[in-house]
Amino acid sequence: MPKSSLKVSHPRTGEEGYQVGMEVFHQLHCINLLRRVAYKEYYEPLGGELAAGREALQHHTDNCIEILRLNVHCNADIGLFTLYMVEGDSQVWPELKSKHVCRNFQEAKQWALDHSVGKMEL
């Protein structure tokens, strides 16, 4: 597809540019989709293109898994977690309540809203 076909005009200023989205919101969409697919009995039926059939849903979920895999691979979180043992069990278990230092998600979300053109669904 030629890049010119992706150009849009800002509705207020008329300035030309490209419509983009922040990866974090696509990744959150993917997590939500995978959650809804995993617990489909709990949620209302999936709508839109996902209601089109099993093949479309499989393609979408495969795409989401790959996006999330790439994100984990590219960001390579080097934070540490502790391991512990349970008496009588030879298995070593990860402590799942590890502390994390995070970016300020609300600031990122607000920036996206402040710089969006038109309606933005988060």
Note the pLDDT tens digit of each residue in 14-70.
Answer: 888 888 889 999 999 999 999 988 988 888 777 766 677 889 889 999 999 999 999
Which three-class secondary structure state does DSSP give residue 6? Answer: helix
Question: Does 7 map to a domain?
Answer: no
pTM to 2 decimal places: 0.75
Residues in a beta bridge with 84: 93
Question: Does 101 map to a domain?
Answer: yes
Question: Does 12 map to a domain?
Answer: no
Question: Does 1 map to a domain?
Answer: no
Range of the domain at 32: 19-114
**Of 107, 117, 121, 120, which Cα lies nearest the Cα of 15?**
117
Q: What are phi and psi of 78, to 5 degrees?
A: -100, 15
Which three-class secondary structure state does DSSP give residue 88? Answer: coil
Q: What mean pLDDT comes out for the span 85-95?
A: 91
The 10 Å Cβ neighbour count of residue 101 is 5
Q: What is the pLDDT of residue 49?
A: 60
Q: What is the pLDDT of residue 70?
A: 97
Question: Does 97 map to a domain?
Answer: yes
CB-based contact 94:78 (threshold 8 Å): no
Please state the domain count of the chain: 1
Using only C-alpha atoms, what is the Rg of the chain? 20
The residue behind tokens 């960001």 is: 75
